[in-house]
Amino acid sequence: MKDVLISAKSLKKEFYTGETSQTIFENLTLDIYKGDFTIIMGASGAGKSTLMYSLSGMDRPTSGSIVFSDKEITEYNDDELAVFRRKNCGFVFQQIYLLEKMSLMDNVLTAGALCNDNKKDVIKRAKELFSLVNIPEITQKKFSTQVSGGEAQRAGIVRAVINKPSVVFADEPTGALNSNNSEAVLNVFTKLHREGQSIIMVTHDKKTALRGNRVLYIRDGQIFGDCDLGNYSETDNERERKLDRFLTEMGW
Amino acid sequence: MRKIKSQLIYNLKKDKGSYISFGIVVLITAIMLNLAFVLLFQVDKAYDDKFNRLNTASFNFTILKIQNDDTLKEDIRALDDVVDIECREAVFAEAVVKDFRDTDFSMNTLFYNKDEFRNMNKLDIKEEKAEMTDNSIYLPLYVSAFGEFGIDDEIVYEIGDTKHSFKVSGVAEEMQYGNYGKGLMGAYLPEKVYEKFAEEYKEQTVMEYSVITNGDINTLQNEISDLTEKKGITMLTSCDRVSTKDTRTMVCNLIILVLSAFAMIILLVSVFLCKFRISNSIEEDMVNMGVLKALGYTGNMIIAGVVLPYLMVTVFASLSGVVLSYSVLPVLAEILTLQAGFSFALSFDIKGLICVMIILAVIVSLFTYTSAKRIRKLQPINAIRGNGEGKSVKKNYFPLDETNGRTKFLLVMKQTFSNGKQNVLLFGVSFVLTILVAFAGTMFYNVIIEPDNFISTLSEEMPQIIISPDMEQEDFISDELKSNTEIKSVLKYAVGTVNTDDMPVTVFACEDFSRVSNDLCYLGENPDEKNEIALGSAFEGKYDIGDRIEMHNGDISHFYEVTGFVQSVNYQGNVCEFSLEGYEMLCSEKLVPALYVYLDNPADTEKIFKEIEETYSDKIISIMNYQKMTETTQEMYSGITSVIVVVIFILTILIVLFVLYIVIKTLLVKRKQELGIYKAIGYSNRQLMIQTIGSFLPSSVIAVLLSSALGMIYVPKINQFIFETIGAMKNNMEVSFVFLMIFAFVQITANLIISILLTKPIKKISAYALIKEG
């Protein structure tokens, strides 16, 4: 029996444009389990990212409840959410969003300083993580504009996990990368998952989705399908066929 | 123009807040500049117009009637360049005006027959009663306005120990004397009243000669002085149009100086601001500029799109400022009339408007153009890629893994150093504005907290009480007063008039200049021996220390050795100092100096004044509460100074507000994405506000503290410059370090509050919006 990490009940999200409103999802109920690499898929505009950012406390649902590690986060104010995020969430974005005026190392330490006052410990962990994602020391000192997209995104992953978050939220992390860089980044996610890191990732890409062990499909504002793929293995072709069948069923 | 119209409108819309802030700073500058220009162009002209309209003489002097020589008039008329000459009789008296703004005001006064025909030095009657009484008097505008005497009020002139009560029946404006600074004033009596008055003061009846010349005033004075000397005639009083004008327009000139200086400082701030905004908007809009270039827009067209909005704002704000300044001008004119002793109406001045517009438009265009001209060098493809003039290699300030210190503190330092331009701007602006605050603060300190410093700079000796004793009683009263425990000291002091080169010079004679409360000597030493003299600043250049100078008083003359130079704002430096023995050598009769009484506690003046008045009523000729008179003068200056200080403070805070608004807004726009990222990784609003404020406030705090501390050096120099322009070669203004620091902390607190308020929009930046917009 898996432990529930995030429990969302009766979630509703509406966007307002002037006087007109658009409902993204309504009465959506979902559990996310600890240690899972959960993939969220769906058509463009289905509300994948909106759901993910609602679960992470980055965005607020219009109504409903989200219990994250036994805490109701929908009642938090902005600053409480900030504190919650720094302790529990790591974010990896499609556009990477590293701080441009800082080196890769400084980007990581800026996040690390939030949860650990012992600077030496933070630097040590940052170096270990950089080594894990294959970024050499000389590259760590470069600005994000001076490295490749893959290197920058891997540094983004290091920043996301520096504070040992409960979950890493990744929003199409390979969307802006070429295939070689995508592969390197996905390998990092797999490595982290194998070490027990919970991950929620939004993607359009079937190959990326294969890295997860659970795939959720969102359609018409609901979780339309939920597929258990089992853990990733490079040689397991059955997983790929299972995912294909699932996506075909979902109308992908 | 049509081609850049859309760009211009886009720029104006995009940066509304910054343009409004810039516009307000320009508006304040325009108000100040226009006030200065209108005063500069109109007061001088108004003075000259009135001077000419009243056919005022270039030079007036008086001699005792008994010395008058019938040939003198013709001899003067025969001098080169003399256009006209007129003689009239008057009574000269060293009078004390009672209840002049609730105190006694000592004033050399010439009483004239108002009804005597005047071709020169005409009177412009401002107000008068239809019916005269047997004690009617017409007062000059200065005495009426400043002394607060209205029609039908009673005014008492005390001459010696006789009090003359008059009823104010009219107010006359004249351009001959003017204000207290000349040390001489007129009063105009109806014929019958004058005849009675002159009968009483036969010995003090004088002949006044008024001369109009086309030539040099100094030459005329020297020629007349030679004539009177040859004839053995002594001048009692004299005044020329140049020094009279200088005295009457002194405050006006000072205001023009201060307004221009302040306007220039604020203008400097505003051009720094637009330079800063332009270089930031180039960075923000680089991609758009690249696209425009790629579409075929030329560099100059894009530059025009950047420069023109500033120019339009400048033109609009300048015009508004000029218009607004006219609501302030009547108040300013009223204050100046009080001090200048002549009324004038300030009207719309096209020259002022043109000057303001040209100065502001040219300077702003110049600065905006030089800031924007790098647009021309932008390569379209680099600009579209956001690289500007090429890929810039940034420096990673304070690498977090290599620099000791707390990460959160180092983050602030990183931001501070990576926003160098913004911090240089804030440092410069804060430093310059602090100069204004330090100057205003020092004025406040010296006028309100330590008023003696200011008043003594403008005045001469300042005892609390002045007693004119009976000749035989002087030593007795002096000894008795000295034994009074509440009295700190008693000094024998005499004020009079002597002549040199036959020109009258005011004398300050004292038994011991080392004990005076207000040492006027700014160069060399005060006289100590009877053959020594210290000359007023008007003589500097003509004589050196060690020179000998001959002084006359009637038929008596002596040579004195110059020991130093003294200042006197009120007499334009036309004064001298003697020891009592030295002065006595020039007096035909025994000199009876006044007793200057100094108290341990000046607050007790009124009480001790009354005690002395009662105790020695039969032994003294007159007694004056000089402290009260000082306070009256002080009251006038403290009122003006308080207004100036408050205005400067409000202006400073306003400018700081606008500067910070532009800087913070620029910063928030530039850092919007960065702040979103910080928020996404868990930084709270509070942390980000502290981090942001921490990145720019230190430069402003350091500038304020540094500028305030340096105020100890530059404020005395500013004071020196300003006071020298009004003839105070040595000023007693004190610069209090503590006070400068208090003002600095008030300024820093204001900056902090403004910064907190302006960084609040950080709360509205959402991490999620970053993802949505990205």
Taken as a whole, chain A contains a residue count of 252
Tokens of B60: 């007036």
Domains in chain A: boundaries: 4-250
Nearest-CB residue to B681 (from A53, A100, A159):
A159
When pLDDT is averaged across residues A128-154 and rounded to a whole number, the result is 92
Interface contacts A/B by beta carbons within 8 Å: 100
Q: What is the DSSP letter of B41?
A: I
Reported confidence tier of residue B2, pLDDT bands at 50, 70, 90? low
Is residue B385's pLDDT more than 70? no
Distance between CA atoms of B683 and B770, rounded to whole angstroms?
A: 15
Percent of chain B with pLDDT over 70: 96
Interchain proximity A110–B407, CB inside 8 Å: yes
Interchain proximity B681–A110, CB inside 8 Å: yes
**CA count, 13 A, side-chain hemisphere, B516:** 23
Residue B771 touches partner A, C-beta closer than 8 Å? yes
Tell me: the pLDDT tens digits for B350-378? 999 999 999 999 999 998 898 888 888 87
How close does chain B come to A71, measured CA to CA in Å? 17
Tokens of B560: 């004195």
Mutation target among A50, A81, A97 for the B interface, most CBs of B within 10 A: A97
Tokens of A223: 């979780």
End-to-end, the C-alpha distance of chain A in Å comes to 30
Name the residue of chain A whose CA is nearest to B416's CA.
A101
Which CATH number is A4-250's, of 3.40.50.300, 3.40.50.510, 3.20.20.80, 3.40.30.10?
Answer: 3.40.50.300
Tell me: the pLDDT tens digits for B639-661? 767 777 788 778 888 888 888 88
Tell me: the pLDDT tens digits for B404-461? 888 888 888 888 888 888 888 889 889 988 988 898 889 888 888 888 888 888 778 8
Residue with structure tokens 């700073």? B25
Structure confidence at residue B551 (pLDDT): 92
CA B56 to chain centroid, in Å, comes to 27
Structure confidence at residue B304 (pLDDT): 87
Residue A122 touches partner B, C-beta closer than 8 Å? yes
Structure confidence at residue B773 (pLDDT): 56
Tell me: the pLDDT tens digits for B299-338? 888 888 888 888 999 999 999 999 999 998 888 888 888 7
Distance between CA atoms of B622 and B106, rounded to whole angstroms?
A: 12
**CA count, 13 A, side-chain hemisphere, B388:** 13
Name the residue of chain A whose CA is nearest to B410's CA.
A110
Using an 8 Å Cβ cutoff, are A133 and A160 in contact?
no
Name the residue of chain A whose CA is nearest to B679's CA.
A82
Name the residue of chain B whose CA is nearest to A80's CA.
B684
Report the range out of A10-24, A56-70, B7-21, B95-109 with the highest average pLDDT: A56-70
Structure confidence at residue B598 (pLDDT): 94
Residue A94: list chain B partners with CB under 8 A: 774
Count CB neighbours of B689 within 10 A. Answer: 18
Residue B403 touches partner A, C-beta closer than 8 Å? no
Structure confidence at residue B748 (pLDDT): 93
When pLDDT is averaged across residues B623-634 and rounded to a whole number, the result is 78
Mutation target among A101, A115, A130 for the B interface, most CBs of B within 10 A: A101
A12: exposed, middle or buried (C-beta count within 10 Å: 0-12, 13-18, 19+)?
A: middle
Distance between CA atoms of B679 and A56, rounded to whole angstroms?
A: 13
Name the residue of chain A whose CA is nearest to B770's CA.
A97
Residue A89 touches partner B, C-beta closer than 8 Å? yes
Is residue B3's pLDDT more than 70? no
How close does chain A come to B773, measured CA to CA in Å? 11
How close does chain A come to B769, measured CA to CA in Å? 9
Handedness of CA B469, B473, B474, B479 (dihedral sign): negative
Residue A162 touches partner B, C-beta closer than 8 Å? no
Domains in chain B: boundaries: 1-57+245-390, 69-232, 406-464+619-774, 471-616
Using an 8 Å Cβ cutoff, are B140 and B172 in contact?
yes
Is residue B627's pLDDT more than 90? no
> Pairing state of beta strands B162-173 and B136-140?
parallel
Residue B64 touches partner A, C-beta closer than 8 Å? no
Higher pLDDT: A158 or B301? It is: A158
Is residue B386's pLDDT more than 80? no
Tokens of A107: 């980007």
CA B500 to chain centroid, in Å, comes to 32
Tell me: the pLDDT tens digits for B685-739? 999 999 999 988 999 999 999 999 999 999 999 888 888 877 778 888 899 999 9
Among A72-81, A164-173, B41-50, B634-643, name the one with the lowest average pLDDT: B634-643
Backbone phi, psi, residue A57, to 5°: 80, 5
Structure confidence at residue B391 (pLDDT): 47
Residue with structure tokens 């004025």? B443
Tell me: the pLDDT tens digits for A22-71? 899 999 999 999 999 999 999 988 999 999 999 998 888 999 999 998 89
Residue A106 touches partner B, C-beta closer than 8 Å? yes
Reported confidence tier of residue B390, pLDDT bands at 50, 70, 90? very low
A212: exposed, middle or buried (C-beta count within 10 Å: 0-12, 13-18, 19+)?
A: buried
Residue A123 touches partner B, C-beta closer than 8 Å? yes
Strand order in the sheet with A37-42: A89-92, A167-171, A198-202, A37-42, A214-219, A222-228
Higher pLDDT: B396 or B213? It is: B213
Interface predicted TM-score (ipTM) of this complex, two decimals: 0.85
Interchain proximity A102–B681, CB inside 8 Å: no
Tokens of B766: 């959402």
Using an 8 Å Cβ cutoff, are B182 and B175 in contact?
no
Residues 6+ apart with CB under 8 A from A59: A13, A50, A53, B768
Structure confidence at residue B34 (pLDDT): 94
Residue B385: list chain A partners with CB under 8 A: none
Name the residue of chain B whose CA is nearest to A126's CA.
B401
Q: What angle do CA B623, B496, B51 make, to 5 degrees?
A: 105
